[in-house]
Amino acid sequence: MKLVINGEEAISKDGINVSELLIEQDVKMPEMVSVELNGSIVRREAFDATNLKEGDKVEFLYFMGGGSVAE
C-alpha cells in the first residue's frame, strides 16, 4: 500500500502497524522517534495496536538536542 512518510510517497506492506513500519523503514533508534499519523501523535504504547491503511500520512519526528549538544 502507498503511504506518505515525512512528505514522501512510500510503499509499505498492507495493514502493518506502527511498530512494524518503524522496522520496515529501517528507523535505527525508534526510542528517539515520535510518530504522527494523519495529524495526531500516536502514543508509544499504541504503536503495536495502530494499523496503517492506504494513503495514511505518517511523520517520524526525531528527538534533537541543542545548542552545545551534550555536556
Partner 1 sequence: MLNEEQIERYSRHIILENVGGAGQQKLLDSSVLIIGAGGLGAPAGLYLAAAGVGTIGVVDADTVDLTNLQRQIIHHTDDVGKEKVHSAEAKMRAINPDITVQTHNLRIMADNVRDIIREYDFVIDGTDNFAAKFLVNDACYFEKVPFSHAGILRFDGQLITVLPGETTCYRCIFGAPPPADAVPSCSQAGVLGVLAGVIGSLQATEAIKYLLQMGELLTNTLLTYNALTMTFRKVHLRRNPNCLLCGQSPQITELRDEEQGVICDIKDCKC
| Interface ranges with partner 1 (CB under 8 A) | 6-7, 29, 31-32, 34, 36, 39-41, 43-44, 59, 61-71
Nearest distance from residue 4's CB to partner 1, in Å?
12
Q: Which is nearer to partner 1, 14 or 62 (CB)?
A: 62
Give the residue carrying C-alpha cell 508509544. Answer: 44
What angle (nearest 5°) sits at the alpha carbon of residue 61, between those of residues 57 and 1?
30
Closer residue to partner 1 (CB): 11 or 29: 29
- Rg over alpha carbons for the chain, rounded to the nearest Å, is 13
Backbone angles phi, psi at 27, to 5 degrees: -75, 115
Nearest-approach distance from CB 24 to partner 1, in angstroms = 20
